[in-house]
Amino acid sequence: MSIAADSLHVFTRELKPVLRDPFQLVFSLVQPLTFLALFGPLLSGTTGQPLSETFQWFVPGILVMVTLFGTAMTGSNLLYEIILGSHERMLVTPVSRAALLVGRACKEMVPLVVQAAVLCLIAAFFGFRPHIPGLLLGLILLAILGMGLGALSYALGIAARKEDWIFWAVQQTVLFPLMLLSGILLPLSQGPHWMEVISWFNPLTYLVDALRVLVEGDFADPAVWQGGIAAALVTAVGLAVGIRSMRRSL
Amino acid sequence: MSTPIISARKLRKVFPGKGQEEVVAVADLTMDIEEGSLTAFLGPNGAGKSTSLRMLTTLMPPTSGTATVCGHDIVKHTAQVRASIGYIGQKNGISPYQRLRDELQSQGLMYGLGRTESTRRTDELIEALELGEVADRRAQSLSGGQKRRADIALGLIPQPRLLLLDEPSTGLDPQSRANLWEHILQMRRRHGMTLLLTTHYLDEADQFAERVLVIDRGQLIADDTAPRLKATLAGDWITVTVPTQTTTTAAEVIRTTARSSGARDPEPDISDAGGDSQRLIVTVDRGENLLPVLIRDLDAAGAQVLTADLDQPTLDDVFLTLTGRSLREESQTVHTAEPTMTGAPQ
Ligand SMILES: Nc1ncnc2c1ncn2[C@@H]1O[C@H](COP(=O)(O)OP(=O)(O)OP(=O)(O)O)[C@@H](O)[C@H]1O
Ligand SMILES: [Mg+2]
């Protein structure tokens, strides 16, 4: 069987629980909505700009946040499937190790794009007016990023299979710095210079910047291709590391 | 003889232990399994049963040694091996996040069956293993026995040439066990499936397996049919009680009769049975034939037989003879509890 067909079967399998309980997706919107509802007005008050303009700047960051938090947890599902045994069964099927990873990573794109679209719709009620083709390209970039982050999360889940607390420890350690050092919540240009320097090494920074210009329809801005390269890099590294881990995942 | 479906030569697995001490989980396992046979691996916890199956299913490479499964090398041709076999692991094959019906369907597709055939086999197995009521529920909420039956269904989906089962019936009630065996044997008849399974249940190995491999501390210590193992390693026990004053006569008769039947140790064990009688125990082959003869001989010699008893050995006795330890005692510590988890699954 080809790796594409194999990946498709794994992808479909992973998607089934989501389709059976779509309510899961609604629930995971609570966190980003809280940020929109509580942090948005705060930001608007601090800058003195109206909420609609604040959202134009803030919502793209929240979409990257949804991508980050939505996909970073996914490795825990694999981790528990390894601990409980269903992964062992999958490893004995004729499906290749690469397909087991690629199928799972591809599935990450689906809930993420749905969540992002719903968020944009809700934000639109409060004055968020994205350039539609720009937003669509932005969602594609996020989907690619999500696939890469998901693959990395799976690699982490596999690495933590003998000590599952490691997974959560790394999550706690990595996620918030990644988020804060990408300018999702506040512009880093206003912080100390060293923070800005660190953010140059954070791929999320480029995605946030790309999304912000894309929702304005500014396709010519270099931030767009820089964001594309950052997303592609994360996915390339994620898939390489993920497939390698999958090969020794018992 | 046709080429064996499994052929292992000095298969060895060594795990690096904590500190310096390494664990030899499987030591130089050499065996041939004939196509169409039903073979049981019997051994206490930690004997190396699962590790043996995991090497044969390509889940882990051996430290040394070679093996072919369905004609394919387990290290060089892992994909071909996996395409020819089915596997039911010791842990649960069904994911807690999935529904059984979905999981069976996916399993079929992953074995390359196609949508229609996957659905057909899914429905058939759900029906046969009486899982209809739980097939559309998240597997997290299934009972231990329901999960185990779900695992079996998943393993049977590909209708493989060779099915490896790691403690298939652990955690099942007697009714489910009987049902499971009926179904496995039916699949075997219908598809000519070869079965290799591990078990702690002595009666299961005894009743269903044509061949029993006893494994202990990674070593294969016996390999034969269950009846032959029992006959050669343990033998039958005949116990008679006679009045104390005829003990010497009785012992003489037993010695002669047992020796003429070819018993290796015709000397009876004598102990006090209370109430002015003595108990004499002797180990023989085919005790059911010898017991009537013995009673007649004792009677004729004037030793009145008060009670007579025949004990046929179980595989546990075989194990005891082989290792000096009881399998039954060791397997009482089998844990069927699910692994504990820290942290919150999503
Ligand atoms: N991944 C591993 N790493 C280190 N040691 C292992 C590993 N897997 C098994 N072992 C060790 O190898 C030995 C054999 O284990 P195995 O699981 O094969 O036993 P088993 O016969 O299946 O036992 P049980 O009846 O309890 O299932 C045990 O001492 C076990 O602790
Ligand atoms: Mg085992």
Q: Do B102 and A16 touch (CB under 8 A)?
A: yes
Task: Report the chain A residue with the minimal C-alpha distance to residue B136.
Answer: A20
3 state SS of B221: strand
φ, ψ of residue B24 to 5 degrees: the values are -90, 95
Let me know whether B240 and B223 are in one domain. no
Please check whether residues B63 and B192 belong to one and the same domain: yes
At A74 the pLDDT is 93
B200 shares its domain with B118: yes
Measuring CA to CA, which residue among B192, B112, B203, B189 is closest to residue B157? B112
Ranges of H-type helices in B33-192? 49-56, 78-84, 100-110, 115-128, 144-156, 174-191
Measured between alpha carbons, how far is residue A195 from residues A106, A192, A216, B267 in Å? 33, 6, 26, 90
Residue B268 falls inside a structural domain: yes
Give a yes or no: residue B111 inside a domain: yes
Strands B85-88 vs B162-166: parallel, antiparallel or unpaired: parallel
Per-residue pLDDT of chain B (346 residues; tens, 9 = 90+): 578 999 999 999 999 877 778 889 999 999 999 999 999 998 888 899 999 999 999 999 999 999 999 999 999 999 999 999 999 999 999 999 999 999 999 999 999 999 999 999 999 999 988 899 999 999 999 998 899 999 999 999 999 999 999 999 888 888 888 888 888 888 888 888 999 999 877 778 888 888 999 898 899 988 888 777 777 776 788 899 999 999 999 999 999 888 888 777 888 889 888 888 999 998 888 888 889 989 999 999 888 899 999 887 776 777 777 777 766 555 444 433 334 444 444 3
Test site for ligand 1: of B11, B13, B14, B15, most ligand atoms within 8 A of the Cβ: B15
Q: How far apart are the CA of B72 and the centre of ligand 1, in A?
A: 25
Q: Same structural domain for residues B27 and B68?
A: yes
- Domain span including residue B280: 236-312
Question: Per the domain annotation, does B241 fall within a domain?
Answer: yes
Give the Cα separation of B39 and B170 in Å (integer): 17
Whether B338 and A84 lie within 8 Å, measured CB to CB: yes
pLDDT tens digits, residue range A165-195?
999 999 989 999 999 899 888 888 888 899 8
Any domain includes B344: no
Q: Which of B88, B95, B343 sits opposite A81 (nearest CB)?
A: B95
User: Are residues B86 and B133 located together in one domain of the fold?
Assistant: yes
Q: Is A210 in contact with A224 (CB distance < 8 Å)?
A: yes
Q: Are residues B269 and B219 in the same domain?
A: no
User: Is B111 in contact with A90 (Cβ distance < 8 A)?
Assistant: no
Interface of A with B in 1-40 (CB under 8 A): 1, 6, 9-10, 12-13, 16-17, 20
- Contacts A–B by Cβ distance under 8 A: 102
Check B110 against A95: CB less than 8 A apart: yes
Q: What tokens were used for B193?
A: 């499936």
| Element (DSSP H or E) covering residue B299 | helix B287-300
CA distance linking residue A15 with residue A144, whole number of Å = 17
**Min distance A237 CA to chain B CA atoms (Å):** 25
Spell out the SS3 assignment of chain A.
CCHHHHHHHHHHHHHHHHHHCCHHHHHCCHHHHHHHHHHHHHHHHHHCCCHHHHHHHHHHHHHHHHHHHHHHCCHHHHHHHHHHCHHHHHHHCCCCHHHHHHHHHHHCHHHHHHHHHHHHHHHHCCCCCCCHHHHHHHHHHHHHHHHHHHHHHHHHHHHCCCCCHHHHHHHHHHHHHHHHCCCCCCCHHHCCHHHHHHHHCCHHHHHHHHHHHHCCCCCCCHHHHHHHHHHHHHHHHHHHHHHHHHHCCC
Residue B60, burial from CB neighbour count under 10 angstroms (0-12, 13-18, 19+): middle
Distance separating alpha carbons of residues B238 and B25, to the nearest angstrom = 39
Quick one: which H or E segment has residue B26?
strand B23-33
Residues A57-79 have pLDDT tens digits of 999 999 999 999 999 999 999 99
Helix axes B115-128, B100-110, angle to 10 degrees: 130
Q: Does residue B215 sit in the same domain as residue B268?
A: no
Domain shared by B172 and B289, yes or no? no
Q: What is the CATH number of the domain that holds B286?
A: 3.30.70.120
Burial class, A40, CB count within 10 angstroms (exposed 0-12 / middle 13-18 / buried 19+): buried
- Check if the beta carbon of residue A74 is closer than 8 Å to that of residue A103: no
Chain B residues with CB inside 8 Å of A90's CB?
110
Nearest C-alpha neighbor of B197 from the set B217, B176, B216, B211: B211
In terms of domains, do B129 and B276 share one?
no
The total domain count for chain B is 2
CA atoms of A237 and B131, how far apart (whole Å): 43
Question: Does residue B170 lie in a domain region?
Answer: yes
Q: Does A74 touch chain B (CB under 8 A)?
A: yes
Residue A200 to chain B, least CA–CA distance (Å)? 31
Distance (Å) from CA B90 to ligand 2 centroid: 6
Within 10 Å of residue A179's Cβ, how many Cβ atoms? 19
Amino acid in position B72: H
Same structural domain, B83 and B219: yes
On whether both B196 and B286 belong to a single domain, the answer is no
Q: A150: which chain B residues are within 8 Å (Cβ-Cβ)? A: none
> Using one digit for the tens of pLDDT, what is the confidence trace for A135-152?
999 999 999 999 999 999
Task: Say whether residue B54 is in contact with chain A using an 8 A CB cutoff.
Answer: yes
pLDDT of residue A1: 55
Q: What is the CATH number of the domain that holds B53?
A: 3.40.50.300
The Cα–Cα gap between A94 and B158 comes to: 11
For residue B117, what are its two tokens? Answer: 């055939």
Asked if the structure places residue B117 within a domain, the reply is yes
- Contact of B103 with chain A, judged by CB distance below 8 Å, is answered with yes
Ligand 2 centroid vs B29 CA: distance in angstroms? 16
- What pLDDT sits at residue B339? 41
* Mean pLDDT rounded to a whole number for chain A: 93
How far away is chain B from the Cα of A85, in angstroms, using its nearest Cα? 5
- Tell me what pLDDT residue A62 has: 95
The model's pTM is 0.85
Q: Is residue B109 part of a domain?
A: yes
- Which residue did the predictor score with more confidence, B327 or A112? A112
B295 within domain boundaries: yes
List the single best residue of A12, A78, A86 to mutate versus B (max B Cβ within 10 A).
A86
**One domain for residues B173 and B67:** yes
